[in-house]
Amino acid sequence: MLAAIRPDSWNYALFLHVLGAAVLVGALVTAGSMQILGWARDQGGGAPMFARLSFRTLLIVAIPAWFAMRIGAEWIRSKEFPSGADEPGWIGIGYVTAEPGGLLLLISVVLAGIGARRLARGRGADWLTRSATVLVLVVLAAYLVALWAMTAKPD
Amino acid sequence: MSRYDWLLFLHVASAFALVASLVLYTVLIVALWNRDVPSEAARLFRVQRVGDVLVAVGSIGVLVFGIWLAIDVDGYEVWDGWVIAALVLWLVMGALGSRTGKLYNSARDRALALAKDGSDAPSPELRALLQDRRALWFHVAGIATVVLLLIDMIFKPGA
């Protein structure tokens, strides 16, 4: 029951970590929803619009939120588990999801950006935007696992 | 996993859903700001459904699991100052969200009606509805309220 005994000095780091993570999940949900809507065949001219919005959401919201989440995580880890202290398993789950998730997020931004550009020019970009969508959904699933690990704190 | 672990996970997951809805609505408001073509606006409003599900699940979840946690955890009570502050902020958030929703839903309905009529010419009326300053400020106030809720949950003043 860490919440009940957490020292006040940890709260700023936890606030940054939780706010960053929540906004990151929100950006992934928003970008993923727009990409999926862009797939729909009845969108007419909507696919380029949704692709562009999804790319901008990932670039302008998700990337800064990932940094806020990651900086907050390292800040509170340094307070809760100073160097040399044994780290429990759930910290490992955090690392395993945060860092590869960040790399996949970066790849999805690049794919979504190129896809949006090609769609705006009237060229096919299905595989690019669909690959970006799959990556966004994979990252979202990984961060939901991390959310479970951070709250349930399995050993 | 203990009951406390489950309750905390569901409470925090609900809070994430709530914040996710605000991020989605914010992106939608920004995306709609300079639009005046009804079919474009109507298409964009389709993403609102995802936000509507998230805000419903999130706002009910944080309340139910939050109260359950306050009752279940030794050392916390529902009448603690920071819990009462959270309940007040939740009510304020709900009131602001309701006002924001009404204003943007009327813009969405107008966009849909114009698009259905086949009149897809730029509409100054639709642009005015999408740029409604009251709706924007209600939304910004809703975001500020959720940030205050998060601060209250983490810092637990008086606990």
Q: What tens digit of pLDDT does each residue of A77-135 get?
A: 888 888 767 778 888 888 889 999 999 999 999 999 999 998 888 777 678 888 999 99
Percent residues over pLDDT 70 in chain B = 100
Of A11-15, A91-95, A103-107, B22-26, minimum mean pLDDT range: A91-95
B11 Cα distance to chain centroid = 16
Q: Which of A123-127, B18-22, B154-158 has the lowest mean pLDDT?
A: A123-127
Exposure letters B117-143 (e unless 16+ CB within 10 A, then b): eeeeeebeebbebbbbeebbebbebbb
Q: What is the pLDDT of residue A45?
A: 65
Nearest to A46, CA basis, from A133, A120, A128: A120
**Most distant CA pair in chain A, distance:** 58
Rounded to 5 degrees, what angle do the CA atoms B152, B154, B155 make?
70
Query: Please, which pLDDT band fits residue B157 given cuts at 50, 70 and 90?
Result: confident
Alpha-carbon distance A151 to nearest alpha carbon in chain B (angstroms): 5
Phi/psi-derived region of residue A82, left when phi > 0, alpha when psi is between -120 and 50, beta in every other case = beta
| Average pLDDT estimate for B12-41 | 96
What is the phi-psi region of residue B158: left when phi exceeds 0, alpha when psi lies from -120 to 50, beta otherwise? left
Portion 123-152 of A in contact with B at CB < 8 A: 144, 147-148, 150-152
- Banded model confidence at residue A2, pLDDT cuts 50, 70, 90: very low
Instruction: Supply the pLDDT for residue A125.
Output: 67
Distance in angstroms (rounded) separating the CA atoms of residues A90 and A7: 20
What ipTM was assigned to the predicted interfaces of this complex? 0.93
Q: Do B20 and A30 touch (CB under 8 A)?
A: yes
The distance from CA B57 to its chain's CA centroid, rounded to whole angstroms, is 10
Selected for mutation to probe chain B from A16, A25, A49, A151 (highest B CB count within 10 Å) is A151
- Read off the amino acid at residue B43: R
A26 and B150: CB-CB below 8 Å? no
What's the rounded Cα separation, in Å, for the pair B15 and A70? 19
Average pLDDT, chain B: 94
Interface of A with B in 26-65 (CB under 8 A): 26-27, 29-30, 33-34, 37, 43-44, 46, 49, 53, 57, 61
What pLDDT, in 10s, does the model give residues B52-106? 999 999 999 999 999 999 999 888 889 999 999 999 999 999 999 999 999 999 9
Confidence (pLDDT) at A44: 59
Instruction: Please check whether residue A143 is in contact with residue A93, taking contact to mean a CB–CB distance below 8 angstroms.
Output: no
Sign of CA dihedral A96, A83, A149, A10: negative
User: Rounded CA gap, B45 and A149, in Å?
Assistant: 34
Partner residue facing A53 (CB), from B27, B50, B147: B27
Structure tokens at A40: 């729909």
Q: What per-residue string of b and e applies to B70-84 under the rule 16 or more CB within 10 Å gives b?
A: beeeeebeeebeebe
Residue matched to tokens 């709706």: B135
pLDDT given at position B154: 94
Residue in the structure block whose two tokens are 């970590």: A17
The model's pLDDT over A36-82, given as tens digits with 9 standing for 90+, comes to: 988 875 555 688 899 999 999 999 999 999 999 999 999 998 888 88
Which residues of chain B does A88 touch, with a Cβ-Cβ cutoff of 8 Å?
Answer: none
Min CA distance, B134 vs chain A (Å)?
24
- Is residue A1 scored above 50 in pLDDT? no
- In chain A, the residue whose alpha carbon lies closest to the alpha carbon of B3 is A152
Phi, psi of A122 (to 5 degrees): 80, 15
- A15 closest CB neighbour out of B6, B31, B150: B150
Answer yes or no: is pLDDT of B130 > 60.
yes
Check: CB of residue A81 under 8 Å from CB of residue A89: no
The residue with greater pLDDT, A93 or B141, is B141
- The chain B residues in contact with chain A (CB within 8 A) are 1, 4-6, 8-9, 12-13, 15-16, 19-24, 27, 31, 39-40, 43-44, 46-47, 50, 54, 73, 75-76, 147, 150-151, 154-156, 159
Instruction: Name the amino acid, one letter, at A22.
Output: A
